[in-house]
């Protein structure tokens, strides 16, 4: 009898898992309550994989030996409850990919903020050093699809808490935990502790041969570590003090110390600017060093890295006003990091679908750095209430073009217009990429 794997959800991770499982001889069935995107439907048809869309057929799902649940589907979903009631094992896509990754090594990068940037930078260093590697997970293609179609020796994986929730044996050779701040609490019974536990699953199967890279300046991480016995090689990084092993920044010098290998370089040489990016660069540098990459290659890669689209992306300089697209900032913490790196008077573009935001977290930075707020959303009452006593000018707009034009009018030479919305994009845009692209297009029209 073939092992029957049912996959709930047909996005990138669901389809990737289906392709891998089918190649490995599983009997695969994909079920999605919504409609499939054309490209994913074609992939399933091309690989001869059975699927249904627009419905869940209960008897076809509950006869599974195992279910792989897409990370976007919460535990409170009715179908998931039925599967749990039958005691059918539920796994995540990264668990399936791990089963078939062979002798390759995995760098697993997680955290509430900075994962995409750190993953992209680590991958860039690996590529610069000539490693046979791929960037997978929440960024790039799914881990399972990469393993199925184009296996590599090193996988640099951006991993969310949702993907970690259903791991069993998944083990990272190098685990990176950047920071933990309140996010996605609606998926964790509104208990921060549950979300913290989820993030720490990145090290649950690590052994004495593996490495755990983490931020020693993050109080949430340090409080949790004080309660745990870890079985791995800890490599902390800090900007507050020197560490014996790991990385630190003292003055304007970054120092990495792993075993005998030592790397030092000036933070002024980093392509990525801002304090939060110094942390990201240290984490990527330590990960690269543990992979045995030589310091010359790390220096070269860190100097010429281009930041990700929609993440603190320089758009243009228009008559002395700099425009920055940080549309990927969908929570208040991300906007905090963006504002914290601003050195010029800033016009801040905020707004969208609120995820229960607490704007008091950025009030001090807004007071210090922001000369005007431009709202870009359907309902801006909460933003206006939060900043009306702090910022002299608040303007409401309902499109990217109007927001850009209003921001430009409020700016003078030497200012920055920063799109860092703090909110999801679904009120006016398809997604954060669409929001960022419309913002950039409007800037180009100026």
Instruction: Tell me which of 57-61, 114-118, 224-228, 338-342 is least confident.
Output: 338-342
Q: Which domain holds residue 50?
A: 4-91
DSSP code at position 269: G
pLDDT exceeds 90 at position 91: yes
| DSSP structure class, residue 421 | -
* Mean per-residue pLDDT of the chain: 92
Instruction: Say yes or no: 55 and 115 in one domain.
Output: no
Q: Distance (Å, rounded) from C-alpha 177 to C-alpha 24?
A: 32
Q: What is the pLDDT of residue 382?
A: 93
- Report helix angle 295-304 to 115-128, nearest 10: 130
Same domain (yes/no): 138, 240: yes
Does residue 278 share a domain with residue 427?
no
**Does 224 have pLDDT greater than 90?**
yes
The domain boundary, picked from 40, 71, 91, lies at: 91
Q: Where are the alpha helices (DSSP H) in 114-246?
A: 115-128, 143-149, 161-164, 192-200, 219-225
Q: What is the pTM of this model?
A: 0.79
- The reply to whether 78 and 108 lie within a common domain is no
Instruction: Indicate which CATH number applies to the domain containing 374.
Output: 3.90.190.20
On whether the CB atoms of residues 211 and 201 are closer than 8 A, the answer is: no
Instruction: Write down the pLDDT at residue 101.
Output: 97
Q: Give pLDDT, residue 25.
A: 97
Domain finish residue from 263, 285, 304: 304
* 318 plus 299 within the same structural domain: no
**Residue 94's closest CA among 28, 147, 24?**
147
- DSSP letter at 312 equals S
E strands in 229-384: 233-238, 246-250, 253-258, 261-266, 313-318, 321-325, 346-350, 370-376
Q: Angle 332-340/275-290 helices, nearest 10 degrees?
A: 100
| Shared-domain flag, residues 321 and 363 | yes
- Name the DSSP letter for residue 202: G
Q: How far apart are CA 29 and CA 17, in angstroms?
A: 11
Instruction: Indicate which CATH number applies to the domain containing 198.
Output: 3.40.1190.10
- The answer to whether residues 322 and 396 belong to one domain is yes
Mean pLDDT value of segment 247-257: 94
Q: Is the pLDDT of residue 396 over 90?
A: yes
**CATH number of the CATH domain containing 54:** 3.40.50.720
Q: What is the mean pLDDT of residues 77-95?
A: 96
In terms of domains, do 203 and 139 share one?
yes
Q: What's the confidence (pLDDT) of residue 22?
A: 97
Residues 6+ apart with CB under 8 A from 165: 71, 92, 198, 201
In this predicted structure, what is the pLDDT of residue 285? Answer: 96
pLDDT for 25-55, tens place per residue?
A: 999 999 999 999 899 999 999 999 999 999 9
CA–chain centroid gap for 117, Å, is 8
pLDDT tens-place string over residues 278-336: 999 999 999 999 999 999 999 999 998 876 778 888 899 999 999 999 998 888 888 98
Domain boundary among 91, 121, 155: 91
Same domain, 272 and 411: no
User: What's the pLDDT tens digit per position in 134-191?
Assistant: 999 987 789 999 999 999 999 999 999 899 999 999 999 999 999 998 776 777 777 7
* Same domain? 224 vs 341: no
Are 166 and 238 part of one and the same domain?
Answer: yes
Q: What is the pLDDT of residues 52-81, one digit of tens each?
A: 999 999 999 999 999 999 988 989 899 999
Reported for 333-338, long-range contacts at CB under 8 A and 24+ positions apart, including other chains, are 333/112, 333/113, 333/181, 333/182, 333/183, 333/361, 334/113, 334/420, 334/422, 335/362, 335/420, 335/421, 335/422, 336/361, 336/362, 336/365, 337/113, 337/114, 337/274, 337/276, 338/274, 338/312, 338/418, 338/420
Helix-, strand-, coil-residue percentages of the chain, each rounded to 5: 40, 25, 40
Number of domains present in the structure of the chain: 3
Q: Are residues 334 and 368 in the same domain?
A: yes
- What pLDDT, on a 0 to 100 scale, did the predictor assign at position 190? 79
């Amino acid at each position: 009898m073939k092992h029957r794997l049912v996959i709930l959800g047909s996005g990138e991770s669901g389809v990737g898992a289906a392709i891998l499982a089918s190649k490995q001889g599983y009997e695969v069935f994909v079920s999605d309550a919504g409609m499939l995107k054309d490209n994913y439907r074609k992939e399933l048809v091309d690989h001869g994989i059975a699927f249904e869309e627009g419905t869940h057929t209960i008897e076809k799902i509950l006869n599974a030996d195992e279910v792989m649940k897409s990370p976007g589907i919460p535990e409170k979903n009715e179908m998931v409850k039925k599967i749990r009631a039958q005691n059918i094992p539920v796994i995540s896509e990264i668990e399936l990919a791990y089963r078939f990754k062979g002798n390759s090594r995995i760098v697993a990068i997680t955290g509430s903020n900075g994962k995409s940037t750190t993953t992209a930078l680590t991958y860039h260093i690996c590529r610069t050093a000539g490693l046979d590697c791929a960037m997978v997970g929440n960024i790039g293609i799914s881990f399972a699809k990469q393993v199925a179609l184009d296996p590599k020796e090193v996988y640099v994986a951006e991993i969310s808490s949702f993907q970690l929730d259903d791991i069993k044996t998944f083990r990272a050779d190098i685990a990176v935990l950047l920071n933990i701040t309140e996010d996605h609490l609606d998926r964790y019974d509104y208990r921060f502790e549950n979300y913290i536990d989820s993030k720490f699953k990145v090290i649950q199967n690590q052994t004495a041969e593996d490495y755990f890279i983490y931020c020693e300046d993050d109080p949430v991480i340090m409080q949790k570590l004080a309660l745990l016995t870890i079985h791995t090689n800890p490599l902390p990084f800090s900007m507050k003090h020197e560490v014996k092993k790991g990385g630190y920044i003292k003055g304007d010098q970054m120092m990495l110390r792993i075993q005998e290998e030592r790397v030092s370089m000036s933070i002024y040489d980093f392509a990525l600017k801002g304090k939060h990016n110094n942390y990201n660069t240290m984490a990527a540098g330590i990960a690269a060093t543990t992979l045995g990459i030589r310091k010359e290659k790390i220096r070269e890669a860190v100097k010429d890295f281009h930041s990700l689209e929609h993440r603190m992306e320089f758009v243009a300089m228009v008559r002395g006003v700099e425009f920055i697209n940080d549309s990927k900032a969908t929570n208040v913490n991300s906007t905090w990091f963006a504002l914290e790196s601003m050195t010029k008077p800033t016009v801040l573009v905020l707004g969208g679908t609120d995820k229960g935001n607490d704007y008091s977290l950025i009030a001090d930075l807004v007071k210090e750095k922001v000369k005007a707020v431009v709202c870009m959303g359907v309902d801006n009452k909460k933003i206006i209430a939060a900043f009306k006593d702090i910022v002299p000018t608040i303007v409401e707009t309902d499109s990217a073009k109007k927001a850009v034009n209003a921001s430009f009018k409020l700016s003078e030479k030497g200012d920055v217009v920063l799109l860092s919305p703090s909110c999801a994009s679904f009120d006016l845009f398809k997604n954060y990429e669409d929001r960022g692209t419309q913002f950039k297009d409007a800037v180009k029209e100026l």
